[in-house]
Structure 1
Amino acid sequence: MSSVRSDPVQRTHPQPTDHFDRLPDSLLLLIFNNIGDVKALGRCCVVSRRFHSLVPQVENVVVRVDCVISDDDCSSSSSSDKSRAAGPFSNLFRLVFGGIVKPLQALGQFLGPKRSILNETLNAHSSSALSVGSGGGGDDGETDQGGVTHHSPTQVLRNFDEIRFLRIELPSGELGIDDGVLLKWRADFGSTLDNCVILGATSVINNVHFQVSEFGNDGFCDNSSVTGGSNVGIVDDNGSIPESFYINGGLKLRVVWTISSLIAASARHYLLQPIIAEHKTLDTLVLTDADGQGVLRMNRDQLEELRVKPLSASSASKRTQVPALNMRLWYAPHLELPNGVVLKGATLVAIRPSEQSALKKEVSDASWLSTALEEPYGTAAKMLIKRRTYCLEMNSF
């Protein structure tokens, strides 16, 4: 009896399904746009050929700068300290304090005897280069530190073709200020400065009961005009700046804040030129810092203006020249915000180019300034502009 021998059945295992292959390109781009971070997107590029082809089409990109390398440091490739470029700032200001019949030759005294101290304070990091750590080596890296190759944001962004919203974040603000001091600024640029808002305070106090005598030697308060209570004392000063503001260095400090903020903003603007030139799809560009000290913004019209009308660079350093300016200043010895935070020596400065102010009607301060700064500082701006306004002028520099 013969037996029939059958061949073993050949079994094949089905290939695993890649669920990403089932997603349309439009949905993947939506995911990539929500990721935003340029380093994370770089990692996505190495996942597959499809991802590699889609990432350059991302419209929302965030670049977080790891370090700022000065020109000197780029040559030595050993340090990330920021270089500083100082210049003389005497005779920049002509004050037109309407309503104050006070000779302000004192300003010359502020800027004269201690000019070296002022210039040291005004040193700006305008000759610094921004770099983003890419991790690992590369032929086009600028500086290698600790095994990480650093590239400029311009290099990092070259492979993106469709950027519409770009946010660049520095590791920290350029202006070194003492602990407890508040300094916030927001600047809008086209080919030159369009407007700038600066909010400063000599100190910030959180829900602390104190006497006015604890204000120190700032000299802005008069004990006789303070009414006590469960909250911080309120000074009835009718919105006027006290005479001590000029005597005790309050005005000089605000001059330093203003010029330093403008230099920082113009230095940032200068660094953005190659990025703006290469990415003509941009609708919004924001250059800020992790500390939240300053924000530079440009919208589509301003970006196009810069491409058509090149900026004027300062002869002193690598920054955009600041035009002649009209400024308005509001001041309060101390300002209590609704959340209980108290700003001591609160000062708000609104800045526009002189030519723009002459050609255009002033936009309502309330609508412009209240939206320029994030909360709670927008509320602080609303409160300050209800006080007396003081006008200043600044020459181009």
Structure 2
Amino acid sequence: MLGPKKTLLATVSHHSPGEVLKNFKYIQRLRIELPGGELGVEDGVLLKWKAEFGSTLESCVILGAAACVKPELEREKKVSKFEFGRSWFLQNRHDDRVAPETADNVLFPGEDDSGSLPESFYTNGGLKLRVVWTISSLIAASARHYLLQQIISEHPTLQSLILTDTDGQGMLCMGKEQLEEFRCKPLAASASANRTQVPALNMKLWYAPYLELPGGTALKGATLVAIKPSDQPICKEVDGFVSGAFEEPFKTAVSLLAKRRTYLLEMNSF
């Protein structure tokens, strides 16, 4: 589900934001757009993230799906499946008091609408894939954070900083207080790469086998992950950073997923 990693930082170095901005002495708000997301994903796979940083990661939201599909095509598949089994239903249903089966009642194989993770999620690599998505997104976010050192140190008037990409894959945000913290506290760099060290984390995960969204989009294997450092308490409610992380139709996806069963995970610093 993840394709070859893009060598984005090498591309950025030829047009360093620090070099471009060196002649600007008074900047309050800055939005930088990279030429593309760092994570190569297969066609049809959705992977989006939004992260807030101070001197280290403060929060991150990740939305992923195994496939983005058209609802009408999925309904056709569902009806075909229903028609295939229709004769069985008619032959085995003799009680007139039982309402006839409808195509809307037929679930896809392995689909569980109870909000629980299906057993196959653990055995067919579904959970492992979500962990890979999470780690890859955190590495991309921490690499972007590391990239901003020069800009933040050279522009003390900066009060708002956003680093996004043309693919709409990831967004890193820093506000006034977070920028001040970044300047005051030394950056904890990872020993293995040019990125900020990711602290120990607590994570909440939600999953749905199928979600229909506004605008003619549907997600299969939709997953939402909300991440906080382990030294911060996990709120039972979905906070504003999670609910407002993405624009429509993905904002609706977050809202629908957050109503489902919550799973708690932990991750060590890396």
Pairwise TM-score range, normalised by the shorter structure: 0.7 to 0.9
Aligned to 1:320: 196
Q: Separation in 2 of the partners of 1:388 and 1:301?
A: 34
Gaps of 5+ in 1: 1-117, 132-149, 216-223
SS at match of 1:156: helix
Aligned to 1:367: 240
Contact 1:366 1:382 survives alignment (8 Å) = no
Q: Match for 2:31 among 147, 161, 167?
A: 167
Contact 1:334 1:345 survives alignment (8 Å) = yes
Is 1:203 the equivalent of 2:67? Answer: yes
Distance verdict in 2 for CA 1:167–1:236, change over 3 Å: same
Is 1:280 the equivalent of 2:153? Answer: no
1:194: how far off? 0.3
Aligned to 1:193: 57
SS at match of 1:277: helix
Distance verdict in 2 for CA 1:320–1:213, change over 3 Å: farther
Is 1:241 the equivalent of 2:117? Answer: yes
Q: Percent identity?
A: 61
Largest Rg, 1 or 2: 1
SS at match of 2:244: helix
Contact 2:78 2:106 survives alignment (8 Å) = no
Return the structure number with greater relative CO, CA threshold 8 A, min gap 6: 2
SS at match of 2:122: helix
Is 1:130 the equivalent of 2:7? Answer: no
Aligned to 1:378: 251
Gaps of 5+ in 2: 82-88, 90-100
Contact 1:193 1:353 survives alignment (8 Å) = yes
1:362: how far off? 2.3
Q: Match for 1:299 among 175, 188, 192?
A: 175
With normalisation by structure 1, the TM-score equals 0.58
1:388: how far off? 0.2
Aligned to 1:219: none
Contact 2:3 2:42 survives alignment (8 Å) = no
Q: Separation in 2 of the partners of 1:202 and 1:187?
A: 21
With normalisation by structure 2, the TM-score equals 0.84
Distance verdict in 2 for CA 1:125–1:354, change over 3 Å: farther
Aligned to 1:105: none
Q: Match for 1:180 among 44, 52, 60?
A: 44
Cα shift readout 1:306-350 (whole Å, capped 9, x = no counterpart)? 000021000001000000000000000011113331100000000
Is 1:338 the equivalent of 2:214? Answer: yes
Distance verdict in 2 for CA 1:293–1:335, change over 3 Å: same
Contact 1:325 1:396 survives alignment (8 Å) = yes
1:209: how far off? 2.9
Is 1:266 the equivalent of 2:139? Answer: no
Distance verdict in 2 for CA 1:214–1:392, change over 3 Å: farther
Cα shift readout 1:85-128 (whole Å, capped 9, x = no counterpart)? xxxxxxxxxxxxxxxxxxxxxxxxxxxxxxxxx9x979675863
List structure 1 runs of 4+ shifted beyond 3 angstroms: 120-129, 212-215, 229-236
CA RMSD of aligned residues (A): 2.9
